[in-house]
Structure 1
Amino acid sequence: MEIKTHSKIDQSLCGEPVIQEQGRSKVRLVCTPNMEADESGLVHGGFIFGLADYAAMLAVNEPNVVLAAAESQFLKPTRVTDELIAKANDTTPTQRKHLVQVEVFCKDELVFTGMFTCFVTKQHVLADS
């Protein structure tokens, strides 16, 4: 399926699509040293959130999809060299307001979960700026 959204995203920071189908996506991210928050190798949570957000956008896959809100939980720490897989499922695919459930795994362990509220706008949010 053709990816219709976020065409200029830096996939080295937000993940590489593995599966993109109507209403769902799977995105892979390898955590690199530039994501490190401290000397222990802990990855900053913003990169994990970015991965989950990108997976949610791909599950909706509309050119003008935007994030309105998110409820999320970081369940386990992530380290440099970890490979993360985000799985997103649009639970309301026929509506203008999309609720997208996202889970991020490291190996078989759930490290993040979130519900992303996304809207598809009639025009790009920056169209009148």
Structure 2
Amino acid sequence: MDIITHQKISRRLCGTPVAVETGMSRVELSTTEEMAADDTGLVHGGFVFGLADYAAMIAVNHPNVVLGGADVKFLKPVRVGETITALATVTEEKGKKRLVRVTAAAGDVRVFEGDLACFVLDRHVLT
């Protein structure tokens, strides 16, 4: 399936899609030193959230999809050098709203989970 949304996203910072189907995506992010929050190698949570957001956008896969809200939990810390895999699944469609469940893991360890509310607009949010 072709990805038709978020065409200019930096895969280096938000992840690389490895599977895309109707209502589902899997995206992998290899964490790097530039994502570190401090000298211990803790990856800033914003990069983990960016991965989850990108996975959700691809699961919806519409050119005018935007994030409207999120209820998320950061479950475990991520260290520089780990690869995180996010799985996003559309769980509900109601009008323009899509609820997307996203989980992310580093190997077998779940590091993130959340429900993202996405909206499919009639036109681009900036036009």
State the TM-score bracket (shorter-chain normalisation): over 0.9
Please give the secondary structure, in 2, of the residue aligned with 1:91: strand
**For residue 105 of structure 1, what is the aligned residue in structure 2?**
105
Please give the secondary structure, in 1, of the residue aligned with 2:41: coil
**For residue 20 of structure 1, what is the aligned residue in structure 2?**
20
**For residue 34 of structure 2, what is the aligned residue in structure 1?**
34
Report if aligned partners of 1:23, 1:93 keep a CA contact under 8 Å in 2.
no
| CA deviation after TM superposition for structure 1 residue 17, in Å | 0.1
Q: Which runs of 5+ in 2 are unaligned?
A: none
How many pairs align? 127
User: Could you give the per-residue CA deviations for residues 5-38 of structure 1, whole angstroms, max 9, x where no partner exists?
Assistant: 0000000000000001100000000000000000
Q: Which runs of 5+ in 1 are unaligned?
A: none
Aligned equivalents of 1:110, 1:95: Cα separation in 2: 31
Question: Structure 1 stretches (4+) deviating beyond 2 angstroms?
Answer: none
Report if aligned partners of 1:5, 1:64 keep a CA contact under 8 Å in 2.
yes
Aligned equivalents of 1:48, 1:7: Cα separation in 2: 19
Letter matched to residue 107 of structure 2: K
User: Could you give the per-residue CA deviations for residues 86-128 of structure 1, whole angstroms, max 9, x where no partner exists?
Assistant: 000001246420000000000011100010000000000001x
**For residue 54 of structure 1, what is the aligned residue in structure 2?**
54
Per the normalisation by structure 1, the TM-score is 0.96
